[in-house]
Structure 1
Amino acid sequence: MGGAHEHGDKDFTGDGFPDEVEPYSVKPDAWEAKYSGSCHCGAVTFEVKDDPVASVCCHCTTCQIVHGATSQRAVLFKKDCVRFPKEAIEHLAFYQTHDKVRSARLAVICLANMWLAFPALFKFGEGAKEPESFQVKNHIFYSQRMLDLERKPGVKFWSEAQDKSEEM
């Protein structure tokens, strides 16, 4: 498959995720969650203690195929701002799009110590709307889009990777 995710979903941190490696061993008294969420069945829960450093919408063909949608939204956090309870870690898995392989490695995109999550996994409270920090600021791989989107002020559209391609 390759494309946008050929390098983005490789395990750059090694095969395992030992407990002594941050952020998976954060002491409870040193943590104050700002947002929390879970997978659909609730087996994997997580917390983040800061706003995302980026919020993107990817229009690459890999995201279209993997997610069965015209695009995929994602928020990125610094890995040291993310915490998974020990009981959740056994349920984590990672699907490598370029190899079409599901592995037992952690469900984290590991580039520049970042963690990628889908905004729909977060719980903001009854009736609460998604925070401003989760709003899409960049559309990436827009040259591969299926639909044209309305342009909003302050939102950038990149032909391929953000800051590594021409702005459209």
Structure 2
Amino acid sequence: MKLSGGCHCGALRYEIDGEAVASAICHCRDCRKSTGAPLTGWLMIPREALTIAGEPKVYASSAHGRRFFCGTCGASLFYANAETLPGLIDVQSGSLDDPEQAPPRIHVMGSQRVSWTRRLDDLPEFATYPDQPPEA
């Protein structure tokens, strides 16, 4: 598998040359707080399959967890935990140039899931932002 992606401003770019170990939607509180989103898509790959152009900032989000992000635009890109996932790194699938190439296969951390995410498909959908603000 060959994939590419990057941060919002383009200061960080990456390439993946290898097969994914897993592709998931994570519902944990740590991911929510890190991304500001109710759920996060991840593509888990061998660390050696990832080449990064640019120097990401690193944040120790837990004793062993490390989150990598762009120091310019703040976009969150990678997560690694050498203790529980040695040799692996998670890439946020939303940062891929073509996220359609890495669809999620599982949900993880469902015990921490925000309950209303179970009914997202029931909400009205607009192709673009509607002319009138939708009702709250």
- TM-score using structure 1 length: 0.53
Cα distance change on mapping 1:145 and 1:112 into 2, 3 Å: same
Which amino acid is the alignment partner of residue 39 of structure 1?
Answer: C
> Within the alignment, does 1:77 sit opposite 2:30 as a pair?
no
Q: Which has the higher strand share?
A: 2
Cα distance change on mapping 1:34 and 1:94 into 2, 3 Å: same
Give, in angstroms, the shift of residue 83 of structure 1.
Answer: 1.2
Give, in angstroms, the shift of residue 102 of structure 1.
Answer: 8.3
Q: Distance in 2 between the 1:49 and 1:122 partners? A: 13
Which amino acid is the alignment partner of residue 45 of structure 2?
Answer: F
Equivalent runs, 1:135-146 vs 2, <5 Å:
135-146=103-114
Show CA shifts across 1:35-74 (max 9, x none): 1111111111111112322111111122222222221111
Which residue, out of 106, 113, 118, partners 2:92?
118
Q: Distance in 1 between the 2:43 and 2:58 partners? A: 17
> Within the alignment, does 1:42 sit opposite 2:6 as a pair?
no
Q: Distance in 2 between the 1:46 and 1:54 partners? A: 18
Unaligned runs of 5+ in 1: 1-32, 151-168
Q: Distance in 2 between the 1:71 and 1:138 partners? A: 12
Aligned to 2:100, the other structure's residue is in SS state: coil
> Which ranges of 4 or more aligned residues in structure 1 deviate by more than 3 Å?
none
Residues paired across the two proteins, number? 104
RMSD: 2.6
Which residue, out of 84, 91, 98, partners 2:62?
98
